[in-house]
């Protein structure tokens, strides 16, 4: 995955968390949000009026500073938190208390040779045990020196958001800022897809406009999104023309559940030549994942006054997804949103084409999200084991075993990446000599478990048949 290498601008809500007052209300309505200056020692307010808090909610590590602070305009981009490269990243976490709901989480990561080693680190970032970002050395020069923003949308069901960092080599993972903001619970198709999907941002683009959004400009966005100019992702050999509303009011924007900003629909691009297609090459994608692509349109050309004057086809990954006639759908100067789920990709990058049928194609904005399953069945299985064996509190079995919220959580449990690389799963379980009683639940059987050591306890009952497959497939199981 390489979406983290594109500097995606999204600055999240700046309202400080007040979990006690928001526990029984919608976090989005309550304005729940937090901006953490990782490695920072004091609270401050940015030039755009956004409050930042000093570093907190971390499990351990040390602080650092970029080599050239004057190179970074924003204070939160200069300070760093470094995590020790320990096994599976289990002790390298930010655990932020949040009322249950859906949230944007956004990170800023930079190296800038802070340690004078001239070697960028390799590490993974997971949320609630699910892999969301991957960093591999060497980083591209722009990311290493200037840093990169990356963000995703996810549900927080249990009152804690666990963002964890797993070292792949000997260098410590590094993070400069973490931002969290509540969003509408039904945003981005949650009514149909459910909330158990993590949506990882692979591009949030505005057409015909410069970068805008809270934290970077004075423009508003209910989710505090920042929109990146589309020029970098649009094919350069097709001449385009930028359009604007010319003072006309846009209707249909800034509405529940997505609250797309009015400014997004006040500009657009279209082709100069009527025979040309608009072509976007979205950041390199992982073909093992599905994607949710959002299109933003508005007929802001006053010369188009009826249906049938501007019609174009939308091709995604080579497939003809739909035919668009904006005026027929909603009329003029009205926001029109449409999204599409892309499955079974065979190539990268993801190619999006707007092919003219009548007139010239037009677009106001474009978003692309990878869809990742949140967590896995290991959480319920391990909770069942805790109850059955009466695991004592001293062993810290709370929350997700692969994304603990405290330094010494889930004693005896080891997690690694699943075979598809997308989740952290329980692979080793060593509970030997802990004076445990009870029986082993059937739910413990998992193809991911490679080692189970339960000897020298006072267990009763039968060993689930599914556990025997561990030894059959070359794993280790000891139960006496």
Instruction: With CA atoms as reference, report the closest residue to 155 among 203, 106, 98.
Output: 98
DSSP 392-425: -GGG---SBTTB-SSTT-STTEEEEE-TTSSBEE
Q: Where in the chain is the domain with CATH 3.80.10.10?
A: 378-478
Q: How far apart are CA 474 and CA 222, in angstroms?
A: 53
Q: Using one digit for the tens of pLDDT, what is the confidence trace for 55-65?
A: 999 988 999 99
Q: Which residue has the higher pLDDT, 367 or 415?
A: 367
- Fold of the domain built from segment(s) 378-478: 3.80.10
Q: Using one digit for the tens of pLDDT, what is the confidence trace for 434-452?
A: 888 888 876 676 657 788 8
DSSP secondary-structure letter at 21?
H
What is the pLDDT confidence band of residue 398, given thresholds at 50, 70 and 90?
A: low
Q: Which of 72-86, 198-212, 380-394 has the lowest mean pLDDT?
A: 380-394
Query: What pLDDT shows up at residue 463?
Result: 77
Query: What pLDDT shows up at residue 168?
Result: 74
Instruction: With CA atoms as reference, report the closest residue to 179 among 287, 51, 280, 268.
Output: 51
If you average pLDDT over residues 181-196, what whole number do you get?
A: 88
Q: Which residue has the higher pLDDT, 122 or 345?
A: 122
The gap between the terminal CA atoms of the chain, to the nearest Å, is 43
Cis preceding-peptide flag for 289 (omega within 30 of 0)? no
- 10 Å Cβ neighbour count for 309? 16
Q: How far apart are CA 291 and CA 3, in angstroms?
A: 13
If you average pLDDT over residues 331-355, what whole number do you get?
A: 92
- Fold of the domain built from segment(s) 3-183: Jelly Rolls (2.60.120)
Q: Using one digit for the tens of pLDDT, what is the confidence trace for 268-278?
A: 999 999 999 99
Domain 202-372 has CATH 2.60.120: yes
Residue 306 scores a pLDDT above 80: yes
What is the pLDDT confidence band of residue 49, given thresholds at 50, 70 and 90?
A: confident
Residues 6+ apart with CB under 8 A from 347: 287, 317
Residues 6+ apart with CB under 8 A from 242: 207, 208, 267, 268, 269
What is the pLDDT confidence band of residue 209, given thresholds at 50, 70 and 90?
A: very high
What is the pLDDT confidence band of residue 171, given thresholds at 50, 70 and 90?
A: confident
Q: Which residue has the higher pLDDT, 366 or 435?
A: 366
pTM: 0.77
Query: What pLDDT shows up at residue 468?
Result: 66
Query: What pLDDT shows up at residue 4?
Result: 33
């Amino acid at each position: 995955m390489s979406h983290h290498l594109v500097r995606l601008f999204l600055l999240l809500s700046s309202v400080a968390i007040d979990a006690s007052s928001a526990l029984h209300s919608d976090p989005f309505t309550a304005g729940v949000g937090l901006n953490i200056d990782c490695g920072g020692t004091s609270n401050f307010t940015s030039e755009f009026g956004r409050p930042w808090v000093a570093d907190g909610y971390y499990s351990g590590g040390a602080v650092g500073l970029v080599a050239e602070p004057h190179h970074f305009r924003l204070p939160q981009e200069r300070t760093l938190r470094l995590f020790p490269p320990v096994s599976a990243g289990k002790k390298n976490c930010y655990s932020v208390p949040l009322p249950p709901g859906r949230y944007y989480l956004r990170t800023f990561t930079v190296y800038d040779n802070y340690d004078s080693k001239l070697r960028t680190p390799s590490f993974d970032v997971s949320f609630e045990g699910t892999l969301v970002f991957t960093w591999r050395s060497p980083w591209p020069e722009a990311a290493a020196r200037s840093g990169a923003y990356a963000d995703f949308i996810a549900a927080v069901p249990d009152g804690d958001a666990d963002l964890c960092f797993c070292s792949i080599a000997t260098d410590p993972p590094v993070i400069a800022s973490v931002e969290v903001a509540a969003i509408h619970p039904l945003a981005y198709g949650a009514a149909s897809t459910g909330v158990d999907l993590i949506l990882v941002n692979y591009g949030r683009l505005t057409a015909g406009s410069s970068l805008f959004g809270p934290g970077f400009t004075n423009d508003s966005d209910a989710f505090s999104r920042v929109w990146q100019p589309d020029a970098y992702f649009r094919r350069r050999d097709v001449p385009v023309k930028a359009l604007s509303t010319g003072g006309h009011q846009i209707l249909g924007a800034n509405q529940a559940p997505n609250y797309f900003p009015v400014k997004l629909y006040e500009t657009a691009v279209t082709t100069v030549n009527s025979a040309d297609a608009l072509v976007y090459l979205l950041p390199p994608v992982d073909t093992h994942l599905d994607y949710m692509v959002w299109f933003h349109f508005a007929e802001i050309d006053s010369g188009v006054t009826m249906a049938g004057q501007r019609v174009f086809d939308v091709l995604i990954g080579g497939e003809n997804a739909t035919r668009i006639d904006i005026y027929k759908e909603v009329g003029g100067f009205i926001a029109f949103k449409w999204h599409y789920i892309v499955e079974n990709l065979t190539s990268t990058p993801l190619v999006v084409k707007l092919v003219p049928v009548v007139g010239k194609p037009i677009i106001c904005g474009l978003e692309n999200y990878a869809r990742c399953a949140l967590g896995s069945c290991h959480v319920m299985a391990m909770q069942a084991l805790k109850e059955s064996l009466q695991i004592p509190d001293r062993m810290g079995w709370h929350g997700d075993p692969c994304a603990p919220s405290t330094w010494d959580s889930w004693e005896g449990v080891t997690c690694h990446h699943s075979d598809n690389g997308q989740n952290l799963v329980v692979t080793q379980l060593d509970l030997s000599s802990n004076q445990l009683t009870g029986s082993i639940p059937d739910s413990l059987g998992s193809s991911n478990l490679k080692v189970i050591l339960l000897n020298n306890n006072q267990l009763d009952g039968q060993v689930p048949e599914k556990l025997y497959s561990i030894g059959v497939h070359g794993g280790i199981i000891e139960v006496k």
